[in-house]
């Protein structure tokens, strides 16, 4: 691989290449999410959640296990909200119980994976799992603020963005490109300035306001 001098310098200092590439991917994925929000109109759970889920996917052995864990977390969050509703608990204890439920469920999923000889699932490292468990709080907040349906839509959008993000970040071409031209990430700054000043309709808004435009 054709590696830029600065990356060579990092490597000589002992930083692993994989880490350097992951860090260089961060602004690219972030810009991608910002673009989806401002121009396309996909909201997801803000910028941080899809970003971190993308990296959790990258850190699991194969994306399908990541998706399985993600789905398990959201499912547990949904079910537990209904289970806990009649108890009328305060917010933090309620979230704590949900996290307990999610933890048990994930453990179940891992054991199940192991039992079905899917050793890949059982051997997923702890950090991506922890990251995904924290999504449950985000999910609950949205559930309270905007209702169940919206929370599910946003969760699916987050999942979608993270999956696409995963494929972008693991693309052989992009990895090679960043290794050769790491300074290219600076180009995300002017792109984001343009996105930050963008006042046009989002693509989804053309669809949302179709009736109005037709009737004008």
Partner 1 sequence: MLNFIKKSRRILGMNSRNLEYIRPLNLKSAKRIADDKLLSKRILKKAELPIPTLIAKIRTQEELESFDWSKLPDSFALKPNRGFGGEGIIVVYGKKKNAENVWIKADRSSVSVEDLKNHIRNILFGSFSLSSTPDIAFFEERIKLSKIFKPYSYRGMPDVRVIVYNGVPVMAMLRLATQASGGKANLHLGGIGCGIDMATGTTTTAIMGHQKPKIIEYLPETRLILSGIRIPYWKQILEMAVKAQKASGLGFLGADIALDRDRGPVFLELNARPGLAIQVANLSGLKRRLERVSELKIKTVEKGVRVGMDLFGGEIEEELEDISGKKVIGTVEKVKLIGKDGKEIEVEAKIDTGAYSSSIDTDLAKQLGFESVIDFFSSLDLPANFSREESRGVEEALKKSYLGKHPDLADIVVVYSSHGSSIRPKVNITFILDKIETSTQMNIAERKELEKNIIIGRKNLSKFLIDVNK
Of 14, 117, 145, 190, the residue at the interface with partner 1 (CB under 8 A) is: 145
Q: Measuring CA to CA, which residue among 111, 3, 132 is closest to residue 59? A: 132
Show the DSSP H helices in 1-62 as ranges: 5-12, 17-35, 48-59
* Candidate ranges 17-25, 77-85, 86-94, 112-120; the one touching partner 1 (CB under 8 A): 86-94
**Are 122 and 111 spatial neighbours (Cβ–Cβ below 8 Å)?**
yes
Return the number of the residue (31 or 54) whose C-beta is nearest partner 1: 31
200 sits near partner 1 (criterion: CB under 8 A): yes
Q: How many CB atoms lie within 10 A of CB 29?
A: 24
Closest approach, Cβ 151 to partner 1, in A, equals: 12
183 sits near partner 1 (criterion: CB under 8 A): no
Q: 3: alpha, beta or left, given left = phi > 0 and alpha = psi -120 to 50?
A: beta
Q: How many CB atoms lie within 10 A of CB 111?
A: 12
Residue with tokens 């890949």: 120
Alpha carbons 41 and 128: distance in angstroms, whole number = 27
Of 88, 132, 165, 193, the residue at the interface with partner 1 (CB under 8 A) is: 88
Of 9, 48, 91, 183, the residue at the interface with partner 1 (CB under 8 A) is: 91
* Candidate ranges 22-30, 78-86, 179-187, 207-215; the one touching partner 1 (CB under 8 A): 207-215
State the number of binding residues for partner 1 (CB under 8 A): 29
Which residues contact partner 1 by CB under 8 A? 38, 41, 88, 90-91, 141, 144-147, 150, 153, 197-202, 205-209, 211-216
């Amino acid at each position: 691989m054709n590696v830029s001098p600065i990356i060579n310098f990092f490597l000589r200092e002992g930083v692993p290449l994989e880490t350097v590439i992951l860090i260089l991917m961060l602004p690219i994925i972030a810009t991608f999410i910002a673009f989806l929000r401002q121009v396309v109109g996909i909201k997801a759970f803000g910028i941080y959640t899809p970003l971190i889920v993308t990296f959790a996917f990258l850190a699991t052995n194969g994306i399908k296990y990541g998706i399985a864990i993600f789905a398990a977390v959201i499912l547990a969050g949904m079910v537990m909200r209904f289970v806990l509703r009649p108890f009328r608990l305060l917010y933090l204890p309620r979230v704590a119980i949900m996290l307990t439920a999610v933890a048990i469920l994930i453990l179940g999923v891992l054991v199940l994976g192991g039992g079905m000889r899917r050793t890949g699932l059982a051997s997923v490292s702890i950090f991506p799992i922890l990251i995904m468990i924290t999504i449950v709080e985000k999910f609950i907040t949205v559930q309270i603020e905007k209702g169940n349906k919206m929370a599910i839509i946003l969760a699916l959008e987050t999942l979608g963005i993270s999956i696409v993000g995963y494929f972008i970040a693991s693309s052989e071409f992009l990895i090679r490109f960043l290794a050769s031209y790491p300074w290219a990430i600076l180009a995300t700054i002017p792109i984001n300035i343009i996105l930050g000043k963008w006042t046009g309709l989002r693509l989804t808004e053309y669809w949302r306001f179709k009736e109005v435009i037709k009737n004008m």
